[in-house]
Homo-oligomer: A and B are copies of this chain.
Amino acid sequence: MSLEKLLNAESVAIIGASKDKTKRGFQAIKTLLDEKFEGVIYPVNPKESSILGLKCYQDIADVPGPVDTVLIVTPARTIPGLLAACGAKGVKGAVIIAGGFRETGQDGQRLEDALKEAALQSGVRFIGPNTSGMINLKNNLNLVGLRNAPKGDIALISQSGNMALALITEAKVKSLKGFSYYIGVGNEADVKFHEYLEFFKNDPETKAILMYVEGMRDGRKFLQQAHLTTLSKPIILLKSGRTDTGRKAAGSHTGALAGISEVSRTAFGRAGIVVIEDSDKLFPAAETLSSLPPIKNNSVAILADGGGHATIAADLLTDLGLTIPELDGKVQARLKSILPAAAAVGNPVDVAGGTDSDPTIFADCVDIILKDPAVGGLLIVGLFGGYGIRFEESLSLKEEDAAHRMGKLIKKRNKPIIVHSLFASARPHSHHLLRYYNIPVYDSLEVATKCVGVLAEYGGHLQSHKIKTNFVFNWGAKSKPEARKIIDQAGKEGRTLLLEHEVKRIINMHAKAHAIPITTDMLASSVDDAVNVSRTLSGPLVMKIASPDIMHKSDIGGVRLNLNGEEDIRRAYGEIMENVNKHNPHADIRGVIIAPMAKDGVEVIIGTKIDDQFGPVLMFGMGGIFVELLKDVVFRVLPISYFSAKKMVNEIKSPLLNGMRGKPPGDKKAIHRLLLLVSEIIEAYPQIREMDLNPVIVHEQGLSIVDARIIVAPNKQAVLD
């Protein structure tokens, strides 16, 4: 259901309105009046007849006109009942301030469930509970205590009231920017992050979306919506709770799901979200991305009036992955013609005193530099804006002149300019002018360079957006009847573990479409059967126990390697059965699996799991010590594209697949295909909770799946929506 009436309400009722100045029910009305809400306000309180000059109603039902949204400031336990009454009145939305729900434990969780049920029945969508509220700055619908927030084009979504306060304060003090909306998400019990995104995507006055997130309810829908949104509007996101300690702190704060898993970083990146690690850079990144054209070619120039800052800026931009290309010869010549002999004109450009007596030369330099097609954007570092302060007051006017000219060059060249200045805190008029032209000014080099970095990151995403990215599962698509039977059979037997040969059969059913050569492992149910099977295979063989009760086959002596001939097969069969019997005399033994030993190659592992917030997730990594201790693994939210499969393999740090030390390279294409196959299998069978192919041996041509395992949900119902 649309959030239109909730977020753009033209009439609002305050349930729990009060005459007590210390109460939220009073402050809320006072704020709406002071901030000049453009709609109608209805106080509701059975004990009062009027508040702050407004007629007060006994009950929501008594309100004469339509009510789009209610602000509920009464205690937690009263609210499910109130929502029912609101629904009856035809109210479309609610903002629920009270805490005391999920974040407090089991009783609170039950109350929150009741709240959700009441909302569902009554058709009222709500923000919260446990929220600071929401503000629509376009019609002054201010349902938060906070006054005088600056208006502008950034939508702010936050899970922390004081983070929001920090960002709003920063906007007011350090920029000319402001906000279109503020949403305090609270417990995210009803309206979810992705719904806000969709709303802001369509809001013509919002140019960028700024988010502070501690944890989210439906990460997959969020990713899908973010992916669509970032094609037209940047999303800037800070997630906290990265470390265990941080997650503990977040848990006791909003009752958010324990942090956002490691998976999120690449997932957010694929969705085009700009992730900020550092709260100092959060607002500046939003300011920059909402104001300036992105950098398309990942390359920037630095213009400095002193070497120290140029050096640090070059270091920081390099750390961020940007290129600082040598300027074109003609561009260098033009710069030389207007700068002193001591100036450096390669990039970074150091004016070497060339602007001391005339800062308009900055604008001349900018004009020359931005013409270089290799330059995607420009960072100015040093003292700009401080010439009038340091040297002579009259230079201020020249700086203003330069600001006007630089501002106009942004439009002309469609390339961004960001300014770092030591004098930002002195607030010279030239800085106001720069901001008027959407050129942000920072006194921190780290902030300024990071803002250049996010312009390049977002620009890079827009350049590559044609690459197919998808976070929507088409559950059950491409499933095979035979494979469904295997899974159903396990369900009927009350098993959650699929046996190795069952897993390999499922893989084989899907393998053809992906052109993956798979060795067929054979199940033998007796020692004689084993001997017969072994005769159909060539080379040394491996034998493994097949039992749903035994998950770790090697650990209990259930695997025998390097078997040649009948004698080996019979001895191995006997040993395995004896070991299994010792370990678990009641084990349900289906026989043994016999397969050829895998050829030499590089060990990799592939696994899937269900992430709390993002659903099915794929892991790929190097096997052996690389996964165990070097953590050389990468993650993707499923499903993946062929492009993603290639990127996953490329992101692995270990060089083993490239053919080191005289060994041939591994067959990367076979891995790409296998990753896609796993993605397809997970999508085809919603019952699968975990799938592990470990190890997979990658050969020069093709690969061998040495061990495979699937865990399914306890019954055959799909466990995911």
Contact = CB atoms under 8 A, between A and B. Distances in A.
A629 B315 CA distance: 23
Nearest to A629: B655
A660 B625 contact: yes
A99 interface: yes
Interface in A231-248: 238, 240-246, 248
B654 A307 contact: no
Given A280-B445, A425-B173, A444-B280, A246 B656 contact: no
Given A314-B248, A318-B246, A624-B661, A307 B160 contact: yes
Nearest to A162: B306
A625 B661 CA distance: 8
Given A245-B317, A348-B249, A422-B166, A311 B444 contact: no
A323 B114 CA distance: 40
A308 B161 contact: yes
Contact of A243 (B160, B169, B319): B319
B314 A245 contact: yes
A656 B625 CA distance: 8
A350 interface: yes
A641 interface: no
Contacts of A162: 305-309, 382-383, 422
Contacts of A425: 169, 173-174
Interface in A394-410: none
A382 B162 CA distance: 7
A315 B241 contact: yes
Interface in A593-610: none
A650 to B, nearest CB: 14
A252 interface: yes
A212 to B, nearest CB: 7
A158 B307 CA distance: 12
Given A161-B306, A246-B312, A280 B279 contact: no
Contacts of A653: 629-630
> Nearest 8 A-B pairs (CB), nearest first?
A160-B308, A253-B307, A246-B315, A162-B306, A243-B318, A163-B308, A249-B311, A245-B314
B314 A246 contact: yes
Contacts of A173: 425
7 contacts: A99-B342, A162-B383, A163-B306, A165-B422, A243-B314, A280-B447, A628-B660
A214 interface: yes
A173 B427 CA distance: 12
A335 interface: no
A367 to B, nearest CB: 22
B630 A253 contact: no
Contacts of A383: 162, 165
A310 interface: yes
Nearest to A248: B314
A311 B240 contact: yes
A446 interface: yes
Nearest to A323: B245
A91 interface: no
Interface residues on A, range: 35 or more
Given A249-B310, A308-B161, A660-B625, A242 B630 contact: no
A354 to B, nearest CB: 14
A95 to B, nearest CB: 19
Count of identical protomers in the assembly? 2
A14 interface: no
A254 interface: yes
Contacts of A252: 307, 344, 346, 350
A324 interface: yes
Contacts of A165: 383, 422
A555 interface: no
Given A310-B253, A348-B249, A630-B654, A242 B163 contact: no
Nearest to A166: B422
Nearest to A302: B249
Contacts of A240: 308, 311-312, 315
A307 B254 contact: yes
Nearest to A281: B446
| A279, A342, A382: most-surrounded residue (chain B CB, <10 A) | A279
Interface in A274-327: 278-280, 302, 305-315, 317-319, 324
Interface string A433-476: 00000000000111100000000000000000000000000000
A240 B173 CA distance: 30
A629 B653 CA distance: 8
Contacts of A313: 249
A168 to B, nearest CB: 10
A238 B308 CA distance: 11
Interface string A335-350: 0000000101010101
A159 B629 CA distance: 42
A159 B308 contact: yes
Contacts of A628: 655, 660
Contacts of A346: 252
Contacts of A254: 307
A715 to B, nearest CB: 38
A453 to B, nearest CB: 14
Interface in A150-201: 158-163, 165-166, 169, 173-174
A76 B630 CA distance: 55
B446 A278 contact: yes
